[in-house]
């Protein structure tokens, strides 16, 4: 469950198309919506829906009330990720208008507007702008880093000599299941035509969290504190990755999740 999630679920059973519905978050969103009786349809290239070419979009959106976009670029290279979000989002929004979809929900990242040195986050910002200017009623869910994403942070910060360079900044990660709960609840509620944030219940210092995690796995890599260490291309301030005071908090603590992984 997610504390204080937005809006009350409608009694009406609705068709919700989940773009990226076979991924980590998407598959959970589909399951949660289906468990409450909604027609949750996962849409991905595997199911014949290609948002880059537009293939299958018109068909899958027939009779859909809501579209949830939790898709991600297969490549994080600056030009590739910008092209992915620009083309994909444009095609989805166009198809939504033609199909009469009344709510577009997109998952983005807490601090996107503060991370514009990064090509990835410039692309996410552009995606949000397209949604806001589309005329389709929308809700943007900004989440902090998933617990499952810690491996990616370590990989991105590991140097050739095996040391892990991280800035001593604050982080408030969240369990992917809590993110999916927030997204699913948003999908069956009224559009907010704005943004709200979701985050985990605990705040950590990034370098300490990663150091403890590596030690727990007997990983020999050394964490080096480096205030100038980039985060996927962006230099961070202490609170860059933290949500605001009104963020809705998930219930799952990182320590409990981590213990289960062991």
Which residues, in sequence order, are CB contacts of 218 under 8 Å at separation 6+? none
H or E, element range at 98: helix 78-99
Distance of alpha carbon 233 from alpha carbon 236, whole angstroms: 10
Q: What are the Cα distances from residue 202, in Å, to 73, 126, 150?
A: 29, 30, 15
- Residue 261 has what pLDDT? 84
From first to last of its 262 residues, what are the pLDDT tens digits of the chain?
454 444 444 457 899 999 999 999 999 999 999 999 999 999 999 999 999 999 999 999 999 999 999 999 998 899 999 999 999 999 999 999 999 999 999 999 999 999 999 999 999 999 999 999 999 999 999 999 999 999 999 999 999 999 999 999 999 999 999 999 999 999 999 999 999 999 999 999 999 999 999 998 899 999 999 999 998 889 999 999 999 999 999 999 999 999 888 7
Which of the 8 DSSP states describes residue 115? -
- Residue 160 has what pLDDT? 94
CATH no. of 15-261: 3.40.50.720
In the chain, where the domains are located: 15-261
Distance of alpha carbon 155 from alpha carbon 12, whole angstroms: 44
Distance of alpha carbon 231 from alpha carbon 87, whole angstroms: 25
Q: What are the Cα distances from residue 131, in Å, to 105, 117, 139, 194, 224?
A: 9, 21, 9, 10, 39
**By the 8 A CB rule, do 108 and 141 touch?**
yes
- Residue 76 has what pLDDT? 86
């Amino acid at each position: 469950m997610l504390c204080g999630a937005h809006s009350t679920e409608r009694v009406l059973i609705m068709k919700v198309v989940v773009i990226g519905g076979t991924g980590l978050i998407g598959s959970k969103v589909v399951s949660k919506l289906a468990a409450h009786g909604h027609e949750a349809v996962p849409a991905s290239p595997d199911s014949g829906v290609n948002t880059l070419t537009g293939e299958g979009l018109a068909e899958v959106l027939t009779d859909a009330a809501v579209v949830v976009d939790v898709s991600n670029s297969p490549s994080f290279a600056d030009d590739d990720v910008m092209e992915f979000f620009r083309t994909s989002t444009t095609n989805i929004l166009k198809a939504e208008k033609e199909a009469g979809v009344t709510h577009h929900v997109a998952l983005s990242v807490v601090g996107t507007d503060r991370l514009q040195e990064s090509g990835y986050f410039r692309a996410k910002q552009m995606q949000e702008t397209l949604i806001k200017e589309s005329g389709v009623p929308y809700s943007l869910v900004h989440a902090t880093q998933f617990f499952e994403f810690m491996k990616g942070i370590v990989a991105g910060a590991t140097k050739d000599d095996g040391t892990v360079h991280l800035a001593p900044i604050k982080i408030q990660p969240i369990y992917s299941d809590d993110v999916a709960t927030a997204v699913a609840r948003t999908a069956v509620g009224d559009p907010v035509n704005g943004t709200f944030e979701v985050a985990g219940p605990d705040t950590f210092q990034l370098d300490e969290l990663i150091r403890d995690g590596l030690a727990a796995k007997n990983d020999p890599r050394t964490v080096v504190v480096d205030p100038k260490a980039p985060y996927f291309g962006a230099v961070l301030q202490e609170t860059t990755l933290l949500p605001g005071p009104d963020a809705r908090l998930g219930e799952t603590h990182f320590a409990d999740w981590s213990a289960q992984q062991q």
